[in-house]
Amino acid sequence: MLIRFYRFKVKYPKYGGLNVTPEGVRHVFDSEVFMFFPTRSLTGGRIMMINAGTKWNPKKVLLEDMFRSIMVAIEIAMMEPKTQVGGVHVILNMEGLSLSHVYQFSPSMAKLIVDWVQECAPTRLRGIHIINQPYLFNMLYALFKPFLGEYLKKRLSFHGTDYKTLCEKVGEASLPPKFQGTANIPDYPGSIFSDMLFYYQNDFKVFNTYGYISELKQAQDSKRKASDTLISSCN
């Protein structure tokens, strides 16, 4: 899985390059498109909320930046032993979904996202929960459906406004009252979450040294070694 994760970064550098850091995607978290609950799920996993409707302004937060934000969040989650075991639940809040949101996606982008989730994301995906989806969501889902394998199909749940079934899957004590949960989770601005993620900024300098070395860098290293050897022999 990690091999595929780093191969993806090489193949799609704009999703795995030096700009994929907490600082590079801070505006996404500031806008509250992405957020994590401070509580954990029934399995001890992280709970990620993606507000892909009302909170998402595609003119200010590009779809590519949303995907980069997922990459950042996953790399941070990989550092938590408890999350490595407990996995991640993703809640997709589709309230306020409009045509302007749907038009951001193309079949090729839908395939890219699904392939990454199914083949490359090095975390245990416990479930993807779709809530508050309007009828328009069917148009968006039709783009993704052809690329879904059994792995994702088994983890997809469509709850609509039935938060009771969401609580059964994720945990009543893990969700706030607005989702019929019992967790005392205060509403906090996205900027606070961004501030927390910024503490990992220096870690990403190290993360970006992992993975595959480009052919150009390999050639440069080989040339440097040859030069050092020649100088050493001359001395």
pLDDT digits (tens, 9 = 90+) for 186-196: 888 888 888 88
Which pLDDT score, from 0 to 100, does residue 107 have? 93
Which pLDDT score, from 0 to 100, does residue 138 have? 94
CA 120 – CA 162 distance, rounded (Å): 31
CA 116 – CA 60 distance, rounded (Å): 24
Segment 94-110 mean pLDDT: 94
Percent of the chain with pLDDT over 70: 90
- Beta strands 34-36; 46-51: pairing state: antiparallel
Which pLDDT score, from 0 to 100, does residue 87 have? 92
Question: Residues in the chain, how many?
Answer: 235
Counted domains in the chain:
1
Secondary structure (DSSP) of 25-53: THHHHHTTSEEE-SS--TTS-EEEEEE-S
Segment 10-27 mean pLDDT: 84
Which domain, by its residues, includes 54? 2-234
Supply the pTM of this predicted model.
Answer: 0.86
Handedness of CA 151, 168, 88, 45 (dihedral sign): negative
CATH number for 28: 3.40.525.10
